Every structure is written in structure tokens, then in C-alpha cells.
């Protein structure tokens, strides 16, 4: 896997950073993006080693042109892209009658349209490399709950989009999977990770899962994967 190149959106913290750390540790060349270019570069510099630099890029997945430019920068620097992990996402949790148009649009544009933009920008490179496209959805993509109308809609959509894209792209030997985590110890929704989150899935656990998927024999395709804490709190 040492000659492989991975692009991870939303890679400056949380699940995206956990994935980047694990893939980098195992010799994969990693590029990460975030809405703030300076943050992406700073995190990339912290991860980089002399033997394995990490590339930081500014890109807002809501903007297709940003994703096109990110893919162009990566292919210019490394010559190819083998793996794309569409991880960027946000969550706003309110009753449907209180959810604003702007909040709804922000979630749909990031969590759903964003993964389309990422795939649309990278699919021709993935055809060349016969690569892997992975989306990070959520158990909220199959389980609805109170105050989750916008988030549920975006994540149900992400699961449906990814499964349909898998059917479209398998004829090019592109593998497509979606991962649906339960509770993860991240800064998501204003949480501050601490010892109180030790029962949750940790970001590096998702990274290890991604690594396992990438190492799987290419004749097999785990197209939809649920992962949850072993022992839910309470």
C-alpha cells in the first residue's frame, strides 16, 4: 500500500483526522482538505514525516470548483489518486419547525451534495487507478430520531447515493462503500472529547476499519458497513 494515494475530505479533525493518521502510519500517501486552508496545512505539517509528507488543501465540499481544484492539486503533486474518503459533514439538531432554511441547506449541501461533488471531481482519476470511494455516513442514515429531520435527510441521502454509485461504478472496477458509525468521540455537535467519551467509538477505530476495507481482496466488496459502540452508555 506504500505506493497508494488517498484523499480525505474534512481531514483536519475528528473521524477524518483519525483516518488520515492510520493510513499515513501504514505507508499510504495522504492528502487532507478542510474549509480553512491554513488549518489543513497546519494539520498536514503535524502529521508529515521526512519519509512520508502529508498534503493539506483548502476546499469546501459544498463548492464543486473547490473539489475540482483539490483533485487537480493532488494529481499534479502525486500523479494519481487511489482512494477517496468523503468524510466532511456537519450536524444541526432542532425540531423541524425551528430548523431554518439556511441550516437545512447547510446540512444537505455539505453531507449530501458535498459527497457528490467529491466523487464527481475524482471519478475519472478513480477510473484510471481502479480505486476506492468511501463515504462516511452515519447510523442516522437508517435510524430517524427527534430533532434530526435535516441531519437524517442528509445521511439517508448519503447512504442511498453511495449504494447507487456503487452499482454505477463497479463496472470500472471502482469499489464503493459507505461506513455508518454510531457514537464517535469527536468535536461533532459541540462535544469536547474527554474521558467521558471512552465508551464511544474512537476516530482511530474508523481509521482501522477503513484500512481493513482497503486491504480486503478486491473480489469482495463490503458495500455498507454499520459500526457502533460495544456497550452504549446508559
Residue 186 pLDDT: 76
Of the listed 7, 83, 132, 151, which one is catalytic? Answer: 151
The reply to whether 151 belongs to the active site is yes
> Which residues on adjacent β-strands are paired with residue 226?
180
8 A C-beta contact, residue 214 and residue 1: yes
d(CA 175, CA 214): 9
Residue 49 pLDDT: 86
Residue 51 pLDDT: 81
Query: For the chain, which ranges sit under pLDDT 50?
Result: none
**pTM for this prediction:** 0.95
Burial class (CB in 10 A: 0-12, 13-18, 19+), 189: exposed
pLDDT tens per residue, range 193-213: 678 888 888 999 999 999 999
Residue 12 pLDDT: 95
8 A C-beta contact, residue 227 and residue 179: yes
Residue 234 pLDDT: 54
Amino acid at each position: 500500500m506504500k505506493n497508494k494515494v488517498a484523499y480525505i475530505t474534512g481531514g483536519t479533525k475528528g473521524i477524518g483526522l483519525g483516518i488520515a493518521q492510520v493510513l499515513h502510519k501504514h505507508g499510504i500517501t495522504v492528502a487532507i482538505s478542510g474549509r480553512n486552508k491554513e488549518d489543513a496545512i497546519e494539520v498536514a505539517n503535524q502529521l508529515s514525516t521526512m519519509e512520508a509528507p502529508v498534503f493539506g488543501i483548502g476546499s469546501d465540499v459544498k463548492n464543486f470548483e473547490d473539489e475540482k481544484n483539490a483533485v487537480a492539486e493532488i494529481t499534479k503533486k502525486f500523479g494519481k489518486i487511489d482512494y477517496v474518503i468523503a468524510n466532511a459533514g456537519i450536524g444541526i439538531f432542532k425540531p423541524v419547525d425551528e430548523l431554518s432554511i439556511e441550516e437545512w441547506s447547510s446540512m444537505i449541501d455539505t453531507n449530501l451534495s458535498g459527497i457528490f461533488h467529491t466523487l464527481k471531481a475524482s471519478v475519472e482519476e478513480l477510473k484510471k487507478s481502479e480505486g476506492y470511494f468511501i463515504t462516511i455516513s452515519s447510523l442516522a442514515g437508517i435510524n430517524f430520531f427527534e430533532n434530526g429531520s435535516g441531519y437524517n435527510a442528509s445521511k439517508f441521502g448519503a447512504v442511498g447515493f453511495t449504494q447507487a454509485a456503487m452499482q454505477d461504478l463497479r463496472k470500472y472496477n471502482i469499489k464503493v462503500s459507505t461506513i455508518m458509525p454510531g457514537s464517535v468521540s469527536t468535536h461533532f455537535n459541540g462535544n469536547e472529547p474527554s474521558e467521558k467519551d471512552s465508551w464511544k467509538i474512537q476516530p482511530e477505530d474508523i481509521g482501522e476499519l477503513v484500512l481493513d476495507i482497503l486491504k480486503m481482496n478486491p473480489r469482495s466488496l463490503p458495500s455498507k458497513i454499520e459500526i457502533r459502540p460495544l456497550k452504549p452508555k446508559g
